[in-house]
Structure formats: structure tokens, C-alpha cells
Structure 1
Amino acid sequence: MSKKLLEVNDLKVNFKTYAGVVQAVRGVSFDLHEGETLAIVGESGSGKSVTSNALMKLIPQPPGIYAGGEILFEGKDILPLTEKEMSKVRGNDIAMIFQDPMTALNPTMRVGYQITEVILKHKKISKQEAKERAIELLRQVGIPMPERRFRQYPHEFSGGMRQRVVIAIALAADPKLLIADEPTTALDVTIQAQILDLMKEIQKERNTSIIFITHDLGVVANIADRVAVMYAGQIVEYGTVNEIFYNPRHPYTWGLLGSMPDLKNNVQEELRTIPGSPPNLINPPIGDAFAPRNEYALAIDYEKEPPMFKVSDTHYAKTWLLHPNAPKIEIPSAIQQRIEGYLKEAETGGK
């Protein structure tokens, strides 16, 4: 097993609002090894992006509050670091690829300057060397004619090419950890596949660790080693990508997997959805937060929060259905068929 790069223990992040305190992240724990990809998945509002921003201490304070826990990067807790100390970590050790490349890039600056600026901030090299490195980075992320593109502005690039520039900026200082927050959401399916292939290639070459934030479990099957499923600010299931797809144990994970479109079937087939909506985290519900949306909820789900039950050494799920005294409920056959169909589709590359 490779060395542990990141360890998050019982992380809590709140936001003060006029309506009350929102408990956006409620005791999240996970770890990440060198060269590994961890996907964090869940619906909008589940706490994925707040967790990823917290890893770089990008939560504005106020209204944000780091209410507890620790984030150990290479064994050192980064939460107590000052803004000046964190500025050395950001870009240099941990970098982020944001969702929308147009807002991540400065429209008034040439892309070459935006890349060299990062290199010069973190590396003690000359401007000419930084320029050469920036051009090489543009080449590495698949941008044709990088010498000419170096002098262009963001509006002169397509959406997919802009996202490649954002990746080049993130890689500029050779970070050990890359956080990708829904990096393909704004792109069409073909470009999305190219960006995912590029990220896998980069990881292979550089042994970079990646945290991939997404609401799309279909993306996860092709890029992740392990998966953390988030709901209402908590991780509700955690395991290897095979365990999550072939042996999901939490009803919320069943719902997410069942919501994946089946491209092979009749287009008129009704797309499955999870009924209801996530809870208000100003007043999180007592018991299991998913209970009101869970057709298999037990009486105890409304009274007591479930612990993380161990399924295997690498697989855990936060549901009372795993208690020895709970009724045995298997994944619904319709969802099982959809997962099997999707996995077969992924294996054959859609042929």
C-alpha cells in the first residue's frame, strides 16, 4: 500500500446565516493515498464542494466556521495554518480544478501569463524558463500550437480547451494532490471523456493523488479507485469502486445508481429519481437524515443516527439495515439490472 497523503478526521464546517447556523459538513472522515483517486459523490447540497473547499481552506470566514476536526496533509494539520502559510500550500502542494473554466480564468489576461504567474510564485526560476514550462504544460494537456495559444485570451478558446488550460494551471507547481470539483459538468459528453482520459494520463505520469467531486456516478466508474457517497453533510457509504457498484449497501447509493440513464434501453423509459429532497441542515433531522426519502426506513431510523457498519475491511455503510437484527433487504432488482447494464456498457466502451 502506498503512503497516506491526506487524512480527514471528523471534519465539521458550519455557515452562519440570517435563518440560523447551517451544518454543511457534519463529521466527515476519509483518507487518501499517493497516486490514488477518491471520488466524492452525492446530490447538490450534500456537502461535496464545501468539503473540497475546506481541504484548501477556501471557506470564507465569516460566514464559514471550521467547527471541528482536522485535515492532516502529509501528517500536518492544515486547519490551524495562517492565510500566509496556506498560500504556500495552495498550488504548490494542493491544487484545484474548478467547475467552470470561464470563471476560473481571468478574461483580461493572456492564458500564458496566468500559467507562468503560478510557476513564478512557487518555483525559483527565470521568466524565460517559466514561459518554456508553461508552453510545455499546454502541450501536455493536449492544446495544439501551444506557442501561439500561449499569447491568446480565454475567450479565444473553446470550453474544452479552457478546461485544459485550467488543468495546466493546476499542474503548474507540481502539486501532490489535485482536487477536481465537477470539472466536466459544463462540457459535452465527448469533451468530458477527453478530459477524464487526460486526468488519468496525468495521474499515471506524475503519481498525483486526485479527489474527484461529482454528482455523476457514471463518471466515477471510469476514474476512481475508491468512492465516498455523501448525503446531508455526512459520508453514508465508503468503499472501493467495485464495492460501490457491485455491492452497494446504503439505500441512498441504490437511488443514485438507479438514477443513471440507461442509454441502451428505449428512450421513452421513465428515468428513476429519488423521491423528496435533502433535509434542511439548519435543523438536521434526528436519526438517519435519509429516512424520510427511504422506502426501506425502519422505526429506529427516526430515533437514532446509525453508526458506520463494516461490510469489509474497505467497505462501510451508515444504515440500520446492516444491523444483525434488521430485516434482510436486497437491492431492488430494477436498480440491479440498471447497474449491470451500465457496467456492461462501460466495459465495452458503449459498442
Structure 2
Amino acid sequence: MENKDDILEVRDLKINFNTYAGKIKAIRDVSFDLKKGETLAIVGESGSGKTVTTRSIMGLNASNTEIAGGSIKFNDEEILGKSEKELSKFRGKHIAEIFQDPMTSLDPTMKIGRQIAEPLMIHQNMSKDKAMDKALEMLKLVGITNAKDRLNDYPYQFSGGMRQRIVIAIALITYPEIIIADEPTTALDVTIQAKILKLMKELQDKINTSIIFITHDLGVVAGMADRVAVMYAGKIVEYGTVDEIFYNPKHPYTWGLLSSMPTLDTKSEVLPSIPGTPPDLLEPPVGDAFAARNKYALKIDTIKQPPFFKVSDTHYAATWLLDDRAPKVTPPDEIVKRQKHFKDINMK
């Protein structure tokens, strides 16, 4: 998996939550890479571990969080174990994050020009006047009209879509090597969502930054990502290029996610869904965590966790269905319908 083009390497990451009920094993041996200039999407249901994993990169996990093992390296420099003082210098300068709700990310008492300029003043010791000039340039770049006049406005004076553009401007102002985008368009309507995603891709090309895109929306992934990591119950269960995940998925959980996506052809009032609920990670299952919800589960799924099976040089899936001894199972018919839908998205 390692490559000289990798800017970020996560290896065997284990994260626990210490609670009154006991130790929740939230992240269980997660490994992935991020290459320079690419977009890696991490997808999965709520509670699968997407946000916890990426918050660890930023050193922003809650106080009850315990890093139980593993390594996170940025340009071969270990991030885990850094002090809060070291991390505060690191955040924003090298890695920045775009959060889901811009109103909780922006200071309601501070003018947006100052909020955009502040990272330059902190991380680059830039003068206020010069930083404000750069903030104006970035405000124009993210598509805020009358940018010069709006530098002195407060967050409440902007629409939701405009506030998210401001959050993106703050994240990009220092030209960080990595942007973590945590469900950045979930709170927006579909029209604004499409504009924000297009803007992010355009800005990524301009500054050659890498993006980790966290989402549960596979429709977004189809037009945004280069590679995809599918997470379930604190583990990555499948990863590959975006085409491999959408057009040749191998894990039953990935099949379930794809089948659950509505399309314009969806006529039923009840959307398809994955039956059951994720396991209790206070006591993770002995075998495959998805076995209880998997209609294709084999006996071994309840006994032993599946290893990663190699589908191609870039595509791996942790499912016993890929074992040579397993019965041959094909994806459900719903997958074919979704593949046509995603092909249409990519052609637009």
C-alpha cells in the first residue's frame, strides 16, 4: 500500500472510548493512504467510525478518547503523540477541516474577513493588512459576490450556502496539503450542494491539495472521489478506486449501501434499506461484524474475521465470499440499476 506519493499514512489505528458502560472499541485496526492531489472518500452509516478516524488526524477527539495503537504519519512525520501545542501549529497550516454545519464553525461575533485572515496571521505571522488582502482574494475565489463590501459582514448576514463557502475559504487560506471535509454539504439543498462540490474540485485543482471526504451519500462520492474506503463497525471492509467500488463492488455491506441509494427511477414509497443495526462495540463480534445483517453470510463469518482479499492491485475487500472455497454469489439486481444512475452522474 505504501507509495512515495503518499502524503498521509494511517496504519493499524485502534481507538477506544472510555465510558461508564465500559470500553467502546470505536476504531479497530484501520489502515489507509492518501496520495498527493487525490480525493479519498470514506463512506458508511452513522456510527461506522468515519469522523472518529479523521478527528484523530487533527488531534480533535473527545477527552474520553484513547488511542490504543497504530500510527498516523503526515509526510513521514508521526502525528500521534504530539502535544496540544504542537498540534495547534499543525492544524490549519498543513491539514484543515471543513465541518458539516458552518454556523457552529464560524464565530458569530467576528467579522468574516477577520475569520478568514486569522490563520495567516497565526501560522505565517502575516500582518493584518496583508492577511486581509489575502482574505479578500480568497473570498472572491470561493464565489462571494461584492467580496470587498462583505468582508465586514457577520456570519448571520449570509445564506447557508454562502456560509459554507466562507468555511471553505478559511480552510484553504493557508493552502494546506490536506483538507478533511466532514459531510460538508449535508445541511444544504441539492442545488447548493452541487455548486459547493464543484467549487471544492476546482479549488483542489488550483492548489493541488488532497481531500478526505467523509459522507454517507454515495451519489456525492460518484462525482467527487478518486478512491473510496467503505467503513463498517470501526473497520474498513472494502477499498478501491471509485469505479471499482461502484461498478465491481465485492462486499455485501457495499452492496447494501449502493442498493439503498434512491434514484430518479425509484417508484416505491419505501426506500430499500439494510436490515438490522450495527453491532455493539463494547463487545465486538468474534467474526465478521456485518454477519448478523448479511443474508449471504457463511458459517465462518460467525467464527473468524475475514482478511482482505485482493481483487486487483487497487481493490481489496474483507469478505469470506471472495475465498476460493465460498459459493459464488452475485450482487443483487438493485446494484445494476444504481450503476446506470452513477454512470449518468459522471457523464454530466
**Which bracket does the TM-score occupy, shorter chain normalised?**
over 0.9
Once residues 68 and 344 of structure 1 are traced to their aligned partners in structure 2, the CA distance between those partners, rounded to angstroms, is: 40
- Match runs of 1:275-314 below 5 Å: 275-314=275-314
Residue 338 of structure 1: aligned partner: 337
| Equivalent position of 1:86 in the other structure | 87
Task: Check 1:95–1:133 CA distance in 2 against 1; reply closer, same or farther (3 A cut).
Answer: same
Write out the 4+ residue segments of structure 1 that deviate beyond 6 Å after TM superposition: none
Q: 1:31 aligns with which of 30, 33, 37?
A: 33
Distance 1:150 1:214, change over 3 A: same
Question: CA contact under 8 A between 2:310 and 2:316: conserved in structure 1?
Answer: yes
Q: Which amino acid aligns with 2:14?
A: K
- The SS at the match of 1:252 is helix
AA of the residue aligned to 2:240: G
Structure 2 counterpart of 1:151:
152
Partner of 1:273: 273
Provide the rounded CA distance (Å) in 1 between the counterparts of 2:4 and 2:331.
33
Gaps of 5+ in 2: none
For 1:174 and 1:204, locate their aligned partners in 2 and report how far apart those are by CA, in whole Å: 12
Q: What's the CA shift string for 1:33-87, capped at 9, x where partnerless?
A: 10010000000000000011011111133x0111100001000111021111111
**SS of residue paired to 1:311:** strand
| Equivalent position of 1:4 in the other structure | 6
Deviations 1:194-232 (A, max 9, x none): 010001001111110000000011100001000000000
Count of paired positions? 346
User: Which residue does 1:220 correspond to in 2?
Assistant: 221
1:129 aligns with 130
Counterpart-to-counterpart distance in 2, 1:127 and 1:52: 31
Q: 1:347 & 1:51 partners in 2: Cα distance?
A: 28
State the match for 2:320 in structure 1.
320
1:59 and 2:61 correspond: yes
Q: Deviations over 1:265-295 (max 9, x none)?
A: 43x4531100001111111111000000000
The residue number in structure 2 matching 1:234 is 235
CA distance in structure 1 between the aligned counterparts of 2:265 and 2:112, rounded to whole angstroms: 41
Q: Which amino acid aligns with 1:85?
A: E
C-alpha separation in 2, matches of 1:337 and 1:306:
26
Which runs of no fewer than 5 residues in structure 1 stay unpaired? none
> What percent of counterpart residues are identical?
61
Q: Give the C-alpha shift of residue 254 in structure 1.
A: 0.2
* 3-state SS, counterpart of residue 39 of structure 1: strand
- 1:43 aligned to which of 36, 42, 45: 45
Given residue 308 of structure 1, which amino acid in structure 2 is its aligned partner? Answer: F
- Aligned residue identity for 1:275: P
Contact 2:204-2:210 within 8 A present in 1 as well: yes
1:147-186 equivalent positions in 2, closer than 5 A: 147-186=148-187
RMSD across aligned C-alpha pairs, in angstroms? 1.1
The separation in 1 between residues aligned to 2:40 and 2:337, in whole angstroms, is: 23
Measured after TM superposition, the shift of residue 4 of structure 1 is 1.1
Alignment-derived partner of residue 112 in structure 1:
113
Given residue 178 of structure 2, which amino acid in structure 1 is its aligned partner?
A: L
Equivalent residues of 1:4, 1:34 under 8 A apart: yes
Per the TM alignment, residue 345 of structure 1 is displaced from its structure 2 partner at its CA by: 2.7
Per the TM alignment, residue 339 of structure 1 is displaced from its structure 2 partner at its CA by: 1.7
Q: Find the residue that maps to 2:221 and give its secondary structure.
A: helix
Amino acid at match of 2:113: G
Distance 2:270 2:117 in 1: 49
| CA distance in 1 between partners of 2:18 and 2:303 (Å) | 27
| Alignment of structure 1 residues 7-26 onto 2, 5 Å | 7-26=9-28
Q: Distance in 1 between matches of 2:250 and 2:262?
A: 20
Q: What amino acid does structure 2 have at the position aligned with 1:223?
A: M
Equivalents in 1 of 2:343, 2:10: separation in Å?
34
Q: 3-state SS of the aligned residue for 1:185?
A: coil
Distance 1:169 1:188 in 2: 22
Say if 1:229 and 1:237, in contact at 8 Å, map to a contact too.
Answer: yes
In structure 1, the residue matched to 2:196 is 195
Q: Structure 2 length as normaliser, TM-score?
A: 0.97
1:97-108 alignment runs, 5 A limit: 97-108=98-109
Q: Distance in 2 between matches of 1:34 and 1:341?
A: 30
Q: CA deviation at 1:348?
A: 4.3
Q: Distance in 2 between matches of 1:253 and 1:298?
A: 17
